[in-house]
Amino acid sequence: MNASILSMIQITNEPSTETPTSNFTISINSTTLSKISQDDNVFSAIISIFLTQYIFIILGFFVGHFKLLSKAQTRGLGRFVYRYALSAILFMATLTIQLDLIQWPAIWATFTSRVLMSFVGILACLSISRARLLGLGAIIGLLMTDTNDIAVIYPTFRILYPLMAYHCCIIVALQVLILKPIAFLLLEMNTVRERRMILRTLNKTSSTHMTYRTLFKIIYQILLDPLVLAFAFGLIFNAVFHHNPPEYFTHFFNTFSETFVSCALFYLGLVCANSVTGVSARSKPLLSIILSIKALLMPILATKLYHIFAKNSENASAECFTLLYSLSPANANLLSLASRYAVTPNLVGDNISIGTFLFLPCLFIYQCVLDLLSTDASVYAHFLEKTAVFVSWVSLITGLWTRMVFMAGRKTRMMPHRFVICYLDCTLVTAGIVILGSFKDSWIFDLSARVTLTDYIKFSFYLSAYFCTRMWTAFICIGIFIQRKQGTIMPRRNRTVFYIFGLIVPIILTVSLKIRSQDVREVDVNPFYQNGRMQQEFTFTVLIICLLTAITSLIMLACTPIGAQSQPPQSSHLIRNFNLNQRDHYFQGVGFQDVRKKVTLNCPIVTQFM
């Protein structure tokens, strides 16, 4: 692909004296070529993260889903991971860390953002519940701060930013030493309050106040935490060996570290499979708020704090570290903690599973945004093309998987699943065209080159599939509204109208765009806008119309009661079977009696035929 890009880009090292025009030419030098290779490394790094981490998570998820391991085996694996595997990884990382190269502004910014969000979550929960839900406040604080740093974040940054990976050790130690005692204190206070209420109900008198023994218990749990001990011993041996341990010692721990990371990721997949039990309707808004804060608010807050702490010593890698570190999913051991104290284990389990599988898409999005902000304009089109191809591969894989799930569940003939399948098919076609179009030639074209028939057909099919995808999003909302209003399944003739419009209208839009633009190609920053401003106007108009149609349909759907003339979905099917049996003269003797009994019991509507 790089060869095709170089063939259409003018490579110059001299300053250009040409006046800017509407059709600009992209110039590239040796620095730009290095930026192209750097952008390619971003996508290869994301793929490496998926292959080295999410393969083990998905494998553990399937093992837990099909219950190939018993509960005792899963519990034993969890104890091994927390007490030995994660501790060994943290010890080895702390042993080789160079304290003089630590970016302290990044650490303080990340930790301060977590402290602020933890206190805000706890205070908000206590204010709303009038200081009654102490346990829930502690769990919310832990979901904000106690993240899976060693198993997920540390291997991720070893691929993306190797020099920043060791900063995870210090943040983990600060979290365990400062934030965890507050959560444990609130959980113990909640336990004492619940015990007091139970004894008051039973009219028994007993000491239900928190004693010094409870405080010593919390301190004992924190100081003897395996991660704290691993960090402390790592710092001691780091000072002894001057962060350069013997080679045999390094090889020994590196071998075990790679194995322990795989075990931790596999156990994380097991937890994700066993924790998906479904949260209540009251907990869904809280779950959405927590995930939204971690995905949107905390990265921005950490970045702003980094600019305050760093002042004039800002570093690009450290800034990316503070932004991406906030996306870390919750720690898998929080589920056992919530179950032990009986405080919203379902909320914690769903937060762990959803946050784990949302981490990679959010990481990819934020990493692309960071690279786009720092990318030179000369390689902007190349980066957009690579991003589109990468996202198309993801869309193709997930779309095929969803299509297989629908077919396995025999939902391809149901409504509104048929419209969803049409949308999936359009998405698959669009993604396939983008991927196939990038194999032979790049989507970035040269104005001086002659337009071939293959290029013309490729871009026309892409436009039609793109318009079709946007239209079916609106058709899904319209179909749900019509089915809700009528109270019955949409008739086949009505569905045929949608199928025809969904096929013909995108073709008409594509032909109209070609006619209005006189098929004149223009070089745009986005390589998929080959017809320039006219294509932008067409795309924006279609997008706004489909968006308004979908919003209007959903609003009317919320205001429309379910139709009164609803019929069982088996009625038409049984009537058709009865008519076929009658036509084939299968109503003689016992056969007819069995058919009539079956139809009469399951569908009272057809009794008039008897």
Judged against a pLDDT cut of 90, whether residue 403 lies above it is answered with no
Whole-angstrom distance, CA of residue 520 vs CA of residue 235: 66
Is the pLDDT assigned to residue 113 strictly greater than 90? Answer: yes
Q: Return d(Cα 39, Cα 384) in angstroms, integer.
A: 10
Distance of alpha carbon 403 from alpha carbon 409, whole angstroms: 10
User: Which pLDDT value is given to residue 53?
Assistant: 84
Write down the pLDDT at residue 111.
93
SS3 string, 507-545, reads: HHHHHHHHHHCCCCCCCCCCCCCCCHHHHHHHHHHHHHH
d(CA 51, CA 40) in angstroms, rounded, equals 17
Q: Do domains 42-372 and 380-559 have the same CATH topology?
A: no
> Is there a contact between 117 and 293 (Cβ–Cβ < 8 Å)?
yes
Is the pLDDT at 26 greater than 60? The verdict is: no
The model's pLDDT over 120-150, given as tens digits with 9 standing for 90+, comes to: 999 999 898 887 888 899 999 999 888 888 8
pTM, entire model:
0.71
- 42-372 has which CATH code? 1.20.1530
Q: Is the dihedral of CA 48, 78, 270, 135 positive or negative?
A: negative
Cα 209 from Cα 401, distance rounded (Å): 55
pLDDT in tens, 92-105: 888 888 888 888 99
Residue 577 has pLDDT above 50, yes or no: no
Q: 504-518, pLDDT tens digit by residue?
A: 888 888 888 878 776
The backbone torsions φ and ψ at residue 562, rounded to the nearest 5 degrees and listed phi first, read -70, 140
Give the Cα separation of 40 and 46 in Å (integer). 10
Give, as one character, the DSSP assignment of residue 605.
G
Q: Under a CB-based contact definition with an 8 Å cutoff, are residues 171 and 107 in contact? A: yes
Instruction: Note the helical H segments in 375-452.
Output: 380-408, 417-440
d(CA 71, CA 79): 12
pLDDT of 461 higher than 90: no
Question: For 170-174, which contacts have Cβ atoms below 8 Å and span 24 or more sequence positions?
Answer: 170/102, 170/107, 171/107, 171/110, 171/111, 171/325, 172/90, 172/227, 172/231, 173/227, 173/228, 173/231, 174/107, 174/111
Q: Which two tokens stand for residue 378?
A: 């000369």
Helix (H) or strand (E) holding 279: none
Least confident of 29-33, 339-343, 554-558: 29-33
Say if CB 402 and CB 424 are below 8 A apart.
Answer: yes
Dist CA 498 CA 477 (whole Å): 12
User: Is residue 579 helix, strand or coil?
Assistant: helix
Average pLDDT across the chain, whole number:
78
Which pLDDT value is given to residue 548?
Answer: 92
Specify the pLDDT at position 110: 92
Q: Which of 193, 167, 10 is nearest to 93 (CA)?
A: 167
Looking at residue 445, its pLDDT comes to 66
Q: CA angle, corner 505, sides to 501 and 509, nearest 5?
A: 170
The pLDDT of residue 18 is 38
Both tokens of residue 19?
A: 């006046």
In this structure, which CATH number among 3.30.1180.20, 3.30.565.10, 2.40.50.140, 1.20.1070.10 belongs to the domain 380-559?
A: 1.20.1070.10
Q: What is the pLDDT of residues 534-549, one digit of tens each?
A: 888 888 888 899 899 8
Q: How many whole angstroms separate alpha carbon 313 and alpha carbon 307?
A: 9
In the block, residue with structure tokens 């391809």 = 412
- Selection from 579, 564, 571 nearest residue 609 by Cα: 579
Average pLDDT over residues 200-219: 73
Amino acid code (one letter) for 183:
A
Measure the CA–CA gap between 529 and 284, rounded to whole angstroms: 40
* Nearest residue to 45 via CA among 324, 296, 267: 324
Each domain of the chain, given as residue ranges in start order, spans: 42-372, 380-559, 571-609
Percent of the chain with pLDDT over 90: 8
Per-residue confidence at 606, pLDDT binned at 50, 70, 90? very low
φ/ψ (deg, to 5) at 606 = -90, 5
Structure tokens at 396: 């193709």
Whose CA is closest to 269, among 363, 135, 359? 359
